[in-house]
């Protein structure tokens, strides 16, 4: 068996393994950084791996939040609730929009899709002022909807789903219609199961965008109890007399930001691979 493997194949495997290890380095560093004592956090030259692991940084983070008016659990709850609702809403809205664009004809279809493609060109900073005006005029300041609504429109999600749905044979949908299936039945029983790889990808992008979002807490929320954990992370080391204080707590907070993203990606990545293997789309 080994004799049949070519040298180029072996080199390719070695290269991909090395590349995979390289991609893991930032994750390994963040985990190690959270357990470093202060004399390792500021040692020069910096060390990659922790030599004397400690949990003092976690205790420091709990101590910092215990002395604040808003508890740490409130920030975490806000981030988790907003992220879950956003992922569900974005996935539903993007899927329905993509289904209409991919498998239905209506006036202005080309213009709508072209507008979505055009939106991919704009950086978030470009639409901050219009977004603020919309949220303010709708009376969504200091509400959960003020966090969720600005992130519902995900042009890249609609684009990915639309391109994936274009691969579904129209004859398959027509056969289902002849058998008496409704459009909503087609969407739920045929389109979504076949397009689960794209749906999972959109869910990952939506969760990462929502969980790490700072814009809504910074511009739309005046009350601290409505702000999210990433915003709390930015306040840990602000307005301090030196650059050393609370760096351990900040390292732990950065780890807390990473872990849900990592777990969510791992769970859906497995689903993406399984679905792509059994979807029937070649």
Residue 243 pLDDT: 58
Confirm whether 184 is domain-assigned: yes
Please tell me what DSSP assigns to residue 150. G
Q: Taking 50 as the threshold, does the pLDDT of residue 275 lie above it?
A: no
Percentage, residues of the chain above pLDDT 70? 91
Q: Please tell me the least confidently modeled range out of 120-134, 172-186, 238-252.
A: 238-252
Q: Taking 70 as the threshold, does the pLDDT of residue 136 lie above it?
A: yes
Confirm whether 92 is domain-assigned: yes
3-state DSSP call for residue 275? helix
Phi, psi dihedral angles at 157 (to 5 degrees): -70, -45
Confirm whether 115 is domain-assigned: yes
Nearest to 198 by CA among 262, 260, 148, 271: 271
Residue 210 structural domain: 55-278
Q: Model confidence over 9-67: pLDDT tens digits? A: 888 888 989 988 898 888 888 888 888 888 788 777 878 888 888 888 888 888 877 77
Mean pLDDT of 244-264: 82
pTM equals: 0.82
Q: Model confidence over 51-105: pLDDT tens digits? A: 888 888 888 888 877 777 788 888 889 999 999 999 999 999 999 999 888 888 8
> Which has more confidence, 40 or 238?
40
Cβ contacts of 27 within 8 Å, gap of 6 or more: 258, 262
Of the pLDDT bands very low, low, confident and very high (cuts 50, 70, 90), residue 271 is low
Whether residue 209 is preceded by a cis peptide bond, meaning omega within 30 degrees of 0, is no
Confirm whether 166 is domain-assigned: yes
Of the pLDDT bands very low, low, confident and very high (cuts 50, 70, 90), residue 3 is low
Confirm whether 43 is domain-assigned: no
Confirm whether 219 is domain-assigned: yes
**Domain count of the chain?**
1
Of the pLDDT bands very low, low, confident and very high (cuts 50, 70, 90), residue 279 is very low
Residue 139 neighbours by CB distance under 10 Å: 10
C-alpha to C-alpha distance for 152 and 16, rounded to whole angstroms: 36
Nearest to 159 by CA among 208, 105, 102, 224: 102
Confirm whether 67 is domain-assigned: yes
228: left (phi over 0), alpha (psi -120 to 50) or beta: beta
Confirm whether 33 is domain-assigned: no
CA distances from 122 to 118, 119, 155, 201 (A): 8, 6, 10, 21
13 burial level (CB within 10 Å; 0-12, 13-18, 19+): exposed
CATH classification of the domain holding 100: 1.10.3720.10
C-alpha to C-alpha distance for 228 and 146, rounded to whole angstroms: 12
């Amino acid at each position: 068996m080994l004799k049949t493997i070519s040298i180029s194949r072996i080199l390719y495997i070695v290269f991909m393994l090395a590349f995979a290890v390289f991609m893991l380095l930032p994750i390994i560093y963040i985990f190690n950084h959270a357990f470093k004592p202060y004399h390792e956090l500021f040692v020069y030259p910096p060390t990659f791996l922790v030599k004397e692991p400690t949990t003092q940084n976690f205790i420091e983070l709990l101590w910092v939040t215990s002395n604040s008016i808003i508890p740490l659990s409130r920030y975490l709850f806000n981030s988790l609730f907003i992220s879950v609702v956003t992922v569900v809403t974005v996935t539903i809205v993007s899927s329905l929009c993509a289904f209409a664009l991919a498998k239905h004809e209506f006036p202005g279809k080309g213009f709508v899709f072209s507008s979505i493609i055009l939106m991919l060109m704009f950086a978030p900073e470009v639409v901050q002022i219009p977004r603020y005006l919309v949220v303010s005029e709708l009376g969504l300041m200091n509400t959960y909807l003020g966090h969720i609504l600005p992130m519902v429109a995900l042009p890249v999600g609609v684009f990915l789903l639309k391109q994936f749905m274009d691969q579904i044979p129209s004859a398959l949908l027509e056969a289902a219609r002849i058998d008496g299936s409704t459009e909503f039945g087609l969407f739920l029983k045929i389109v979504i199961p076949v397009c689960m790889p794209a749906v999972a990808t959109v869910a990952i992008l939506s969760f990462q965008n929502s969980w790490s979002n700072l814009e809504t807490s910074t511009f739309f929320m005046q009350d601290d109890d409505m702000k999210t954990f990433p915003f709390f992370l930015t306040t840990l080391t602000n307005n301090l007399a030196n650059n050393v204080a609370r760096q351990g707590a900040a390292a732990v907070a950065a780890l807390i930001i990473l872990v849900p993203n990592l777990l969510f990606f791992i769970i859906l990545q497995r689903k993406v691979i399984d679905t792509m293997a059994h979807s029937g789309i070649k």
